[in-house]
Structure 1
Amino acid sequence: MPTLHDRLTSKSLTLIASLPSNHEDVIQAAIDAEVDVIKVHMNVEHRASGNWFGTLAENERAFTFLRKHFNGPIGIVPGDAPEKVTKKELDQLQEIGFDFLSIYAHTAPAWLAADNQLEKMIALSNHYRQADLEAFKQSSADILEASIMNSETYGQRLTMNDLYHYQELVAGVSQPVVVPTQKNILIEDIQALQATGISGLMAGAIVTGKTPETIYESLKTFKEAIETERM
């Protein structure tokens, strides 16, 4: 099966679903929408969705369901603080069948830089500096997640200034860049987003809502729009 990195470097734009909960009906909605990649969370308080995601033990059944029913790459945010990410749980996640980790650089424990069990999608925040991009390019990170919006702007419309920042990231690193929907990205924004050179769009609660019905409809619409751009 192709890895996340494989997909990001072989398609014009990869659609990643970042789920607002780990309920099986939410997972199924993303699968039915035919997204390319699915990401879930554990040990995390998630601002965009307003949810607390529980422990691995609490989520293991849902994660097993995800792996059983979805053939694409699956990833996980393993925690929102360095002490919440452990090698033991990474081993368990790999056994379940996860393909990649998604985590902020400032919440990832240092030892993770030398751990290559799973691909690493590392997020930079709005505090990144130009020097960080050169360091990122030389790091063990496989993918850059552009989580660079100030939390005060979450849910606002995407602007040309935002596109310039994404272009700066694409130009500054050698890894593929994924943009999460920290802002309210619309279908009509996709062409302009693609023009920045990003490799993936990660659709989360701000654009999908939280119910299986809205998640399916939103993801399906994004999927169809991206497929149209590929033609």
Structure 2
Amino acid sequence: MNTRIIKLKTPLLFTAFALIGLLTSCDNEEDRWTDVKEDPVTEIVTNLDARRIISFKVTNPGENQAIYSAVNNLEKTITVYLPSYYEYQYLETAITLPEKTTISPAATELIPVFSKTPITYTTKAADGTTSVYTLKIVIQQPKLILNELSTEASTYSVAVTSPLILKGENFVPSYEVTKVFIVDAQGNKKWQMKQWNEGLDIQSFTITYGFIESLSTNVTLEPNTDYWVLMESYNLSVTMKYPIRITK
């Protein structure tokens, strides 16, 4: 009888060995995995301070557009970021407190934007303990720029019967919050300029002032004397570098 021997192809043998090795490897890998119980997690719950301020907001723009302020209950501060274009002189507020906690002054009391003394609030919890918060008002207003009328070589002259046209950047073009003064070399205010009709242009930052409201006004500025122009626009002020001359 003839015996027939069939030779296995080499790639088939390699595939079989690889499969066996993979299965063995998986078995070994599974043997090495063990269940480890993690340490228990302890959640620490602390009681919130009853003297805290939960929220503080400025309601002048209306309830829907109210300005929420940053309350820091650790440092005991309230920071109001106020855009300059609102031109507010006083703030209306709404304050949220924990139950049975009171505050003084009351939330309904108007707050002056440009107070000369620090503004503080005192909270009082039901158990009689108190906290004092300091209010900080940060006015967001870009740098005020006032274009010069004179140059180093030439001094601008203007009669008291003529208007003074001022141009620049970022001043609030409103006579209510943008005021112009004539000052001496020491910065002392010598004369406040008057509104000139409706001479203001919001888009180009141009505003017009007059020295007098009527011809009967006696201007107390000295003629042929150097004076400087000072502009105060809401929260900022700037003085021209070069002087001007006043003529009668």
Q: TM-score with structure 1 length normalisation?
A: 0.20
Which has the higher Rg, Structure 1 or Structure 2? 2
Higher relative contact order (CA 8 A, sep 6+): 1
More strand by share: 2
Q: TM-score with structure 2 length normalisation?
A: 0.19
